[in-house]
Homo-oligomer: A and B are copies of this chain.
Amino acid sequence: MVVGISILMDFSGVVDGKYHSASYWEDLLDQVIKIGRMTKLEISSYQFNQVHKHQGRSGSYIKGGATAFALLSESHISVHTWPEYEKAVVDVFTCGSIEHLDDLVDYLISNVQHSEIRITRLPRGELS
């Protein structure tokens, strides 16, 4: 018996600084939770300090990454971003109805500009 599903999204080529902003993700999580018809318990986020980005032999300091987390009655959504690598990783775990799950995932992906994405879907709690 499966108790839920994990959808693990790995974004690459996330260049625009706004996708590394904690406040952007707080707003986006609020929207996707509504689209997924999920029940929010709590949203937290953090903006990390500036990081060094290598460019050829030199480099520069840029704003640090974001992390955001939504605790839901139906489980959770987590976000971590790395502007220095132009990457973001988003996990959606739901044990609720999956009727609106594809809408949630599609909306989320369409609101994070990227060059490549890898999505892994994993049923959870399958053991007897």
A-to-B contact residues, CB < 8 Å: 1, 3-4, 6, 8, 10, 12, 41-42, 44, 46, 48, 67, 69, 71, 73, 75-76, 78, 80, 82, 85, 87, 89, 91, 93, 95, 116-118, 120, 122, 124-128
Q: Which of B3, B12, B128 contacts A89 (CB 8 A)?
A: B3
Bound CA span A91–B76, Å: 11
A113 to chain B, nearest CB (A): 15
The answer for the CA separation of A85 and B3 in the assembled complex, in Å, is: 8
In the complex, the answer to whether B1 meets A125 with C-beta atoms within 8 Å is: no
Q: How far is the CA of A113 from the CA of B3 in the complex (A)?
A: 19
Contact of A71 among B44, B95, B116, B122 (CB under 8 A): B44
Partner of A127, one of B4, B12, B41, B44: B12
Contact A124 B71, beta carbon cutoff 8 Å: no
A10 partner, pick from B12, B82, B125, beta carbons under 8 A? B125
Question: Which residues of chain B are within 8 angstroms of A126 by Cβ–Cβ distance?
Answer: 10, 118
